């Protein structure tokens, strides 16, 4: 492959993934191989690919590019982030133990919990920043330790090197869900993890038009195992989705740079705003896990959560008044989004569990896009002003009644 050159940076490799690989017409961008099957050269002589579920040239270009970006031996492209999680779970023995974060992505929580309720796996959900709880859980000898950092929605950062070392002492395989940062801002394999999982739906594709996933393994043995299971389960990604995602990947580095700049700018703005109660962003020195984020990440990401004053009415009005933040779930696209975790992404979490997780009714989460930071800040500003205006009218109402 023309792109494989250890002397060029991974960013350049991502831009050039699959470029000029077409031997028939010299196409600059790679052709899309939609074909479900491939002919044999001759009797008992298969070519490199025979059937698209097990292997496809377009999908392989994306797998190669992601493996290089994460510094792994190889990758498997799956149909979604959830099927990437399902794939990794196949590495557990029957009834095998998984140690997962208590505040992991809702879909992963549901998958792990449902499989454990059926007796397929055993799972412990633990606050991995609580050292005593982590040690106790590791002493139960989990086969897999699942890390998700930063967490959703409060952006708590877990020390990947430290947890990986503790997990390896007990013989566990360490998996990191790197969806929130992408390999541009965090490389878990270099920090000691064995497997990286992505919902490529988010930053990697980055344009909110593909649902997909990826699993990257550190060693060829792990990759072989994962490939075997992906083919057996039939959860590999579609060629068309792979081509789209590969196109998104070419701009990942520049997108992330802008996402991160915009997010820091808005986090600083929100932190000083009188209508804001608190801001959760690992790039602010006030964030409880700023130090670890600064140590293990090369960027702080573009998800910010914050609590606004005035309760649920203020939250509803604020989100309605915004013009440049769409009220929607998901994240990682070029466009800015706002989400109310209590009624949207975390609606399935029981009220008391929401409380322990710090998800209050006045908490909002924004996925900061790559629009102009000034425009985004001005939009937040005008929405805050409308909320304040509304509150002052309401406060005046009783006196108006009195004067009538």
Ligand X SMILES: *Cc1c(COP(=O)(O)O)cnc(C)c1O
CB of residue 158 to ligand X, shortest distance in Å: 13
Q: Does 81 bind ligand X (CB under 6 A)?
A: yes
Q: Is 106 near ligand X (CB under 6 A)?
A: no
| Catalytic position from the list 177, 194, 241, 253 | 177
Decide whether 16 or 202 has the Cβ nearer to ligand X: 202
Q: Give the separation between CA 256 and CA 259, rounded to whole angstroms.
A: 5
Closest CA to 100 of 89, 91, 284: 89
53 is catalytic: yes
Does 245 sit near ligand X (CB under 6 A)? Answer: no
Judged by CB under 6 A, which of 32, 211, 238, 373 binds ligand X?
Answer: 211
Measured distance between the N- and C-terminal CA atoms of the chain, rounded to whole angstroms: 81
Tell me, yes or no, if 281 is annotated catalytic: no
**At closest approach, how far in Å is the CB of 105 from ligand X?**
4
Element holding 147 (H helix, E strand): strand 144-148
What are 16-25's contacts with CB under 8 Å, separation 24+?
A: 17/61, 17/62, 17/64, 17/65, 17/246, 17/249, 17/250, 18/61, 18/65, 18/246, 21/61
Q: How far apart are CA 52 and CA 133, in angstroms?
A: 44
Question: Could you give the 3-state DSSP secondary structure of residue 280?
Answer: strand
Residue 80 binds ligand X (CB under 6 A): yes
Q: Does 328 bind ligand X (CB under 6 A)?
A: no
State yes or no: is 105 an active-site residue: yes
For ligand X, the closer of residues 57 and 212 by Cβ is 212
Closest contact distance (angstroms) between CB of 204 and ligand X is 10
Nearer to ligand X, 100 or 266 (CB): 100
The DSSP call for residue 174 is: E
Q: Which of 16, 59, 105, 365 is catalytic?
A: 105
**Structure-block tokens of residue 229:** 């299971």
Question: Which of residues 362 and 367 has its CB atom nearest to ligand X in the complex?
Answer: 367
Per CB under 6 A, the list member of 33, 105, 109, 384 interacting with ligand X is: 105
Active site residue 127: no
Q: Does 287 bind ligand X (CB under 6 A)?
A: no
Residue whose Cβ sits closest to ligand X: 81
Of 59, 202, 247, 365, the active-site residue reads 202
Piece in contact with ligand X (CB under 6 A), picked from 54-62, 102-110, 129-137, 346-354: 102-110
Applying CB under 6 A, which of residues 213, 283, 310, 341 lies at the interface with ligand X? Answer: 213
Helix axes 81-89, 106-117, angle to 10 degrees: 40
Q: Could you give the residue ranges of the DSSP H alpha helices within 72-192?
A: 81-89, 106-117, 131-138, 160-169, 182-185, 188-191
User: Applying CB under 6 A, does 128 fall inside the site for ligand X?
Assistant: no
CA distance 66 to 76: 9
Binds ligand X (CB under 6 A): choice among 124, 159, 177, 194: 177
Among 6, 62, 70, CA closest to 29: 62
The C-alpha atoms of residue 65 and residue 15 are separated, in whole angstroms, by 9
199 lines the binding site for ligand X (CB under 6 A): yes
3-state secondary structure of 57: helix
Give yes or no for residue 179 binding ligand X (CB under 6 A).
yes
Count of chain residues binding ligand X (CB under 6 A): 15
- Catalytic position from the list 49, 53, 170, 269: 53
Per CB under 6 A, 103 contacts ligand X: no
The string of DSSP letters for 284-323 reads STTSTTHHHHHHH-SS--SEEEEEETTHHHHHHHHHHH-S
Q: Is 48 exposed, middle or buried (0-12, 13-18, 19+ CB in 10 A)?
A: exposed
Sole binder of ligand X in the list 59, 68, 202, 218 (CB under 6 A): 202
User: Beta-carbon neighbour count of residue 393 at 10 Å?
Assistant: 10
Piece in contact with ligand X (CB under 6 A), picked from 63-71, 75-83, 253-261, 286-294:
75-83
Q: Look at residue 236 and give its three-state secondary structure.
A: strand
Is 82 one of the binding residues for ligand X (CB under 6 A)? yes
Tell whether residue 367 is a contact of ligand X (CB under 6 A). Answer: no
The catalytic site residues sit at: 53, 105, 177, 202
Residue ranges in contact with ligand X by CB under 6 A: 80-82, 105, 107-108, 148, 177, 179-180, 199, 201-202, 211, 213
């Amino acid at each position: 492959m023309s792109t494989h050159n250890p002397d060029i940076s991974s960013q350049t490799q991502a831009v050039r993934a699959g470029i000029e690989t077409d031997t028939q017409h010299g196409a600059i961008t790679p052709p899309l191989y939609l074909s479900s099957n491939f002919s044999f050269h001759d009797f008992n002589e298969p070519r490199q690919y025979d059937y698209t579920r097990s292997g496809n040239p377009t999908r392989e270009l994306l797998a190669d590019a992601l493996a290089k970006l994460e510094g792994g031996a190889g990758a498997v492209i799956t149909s979604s982030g959830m099927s990437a999680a399902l794939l990794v779970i196949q590495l557990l023995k029957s009834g095998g133990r998984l140690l997962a974060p208590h505040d992991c992505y809702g879909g992963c929580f549901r998958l792990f919990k449902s499989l454990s309720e059926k007796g397929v796996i055993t799972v412990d959900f633990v606050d991995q920043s609580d050292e005593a709880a982590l040690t106790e859980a590791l002493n139960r000898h989990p086969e897999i330790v699942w890390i998700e950092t930063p967490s959703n929605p409060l952006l708590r950062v877990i020390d990947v090197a430290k947890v990986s070392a503790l997990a390896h002492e007990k013989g566990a395989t360490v998996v990191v869900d790197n969806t929130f940062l992408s390999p541009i801002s965090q490389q878990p394999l270099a920090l000691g993890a064995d497997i990286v999982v992505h919902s490529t739906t988010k930053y990697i594709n980055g344009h909110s038009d593909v649902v997909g996933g990826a699993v990257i393994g550190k060693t060829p043995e792990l990759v072989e195992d994962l490939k075997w299971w992906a083919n057996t389960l039939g959860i590999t990604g579609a060629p068309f989705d792979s081509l789209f995602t590969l196109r998104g990947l070419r701009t990942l580095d520049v997108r992330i740079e802008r996402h991160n700049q915009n997010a820091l700018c808005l986090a600083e703005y929100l932190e000083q705003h009188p209508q804001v109660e608190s801001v959760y962003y690992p790039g602010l020195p006030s964030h409880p896990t700023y130090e670890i984020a600064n140590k293990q990440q090369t960027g702080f990401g573009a998800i910010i959560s914050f609590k606004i004053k005035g309760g649920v009415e203020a939250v509803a009005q604020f989100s309605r008044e915004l013009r440049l933040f769409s009220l929607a779930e998901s994240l990682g696209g070029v466009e800015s989004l706002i989400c109310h975790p209590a009624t949207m992404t975390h609606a399935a979490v029981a009220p008391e569990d929401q409380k322990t997780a710090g998800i209050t009714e006045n908490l909002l989460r924004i996925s900061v896009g790559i629009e102009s930071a000034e425009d985004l800040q001005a939009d937040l500003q005008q929405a805050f002003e409308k909320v304040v205006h509304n509150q002052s009218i309401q406060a005046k109402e009783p006196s108006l009644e009195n004067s009538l």
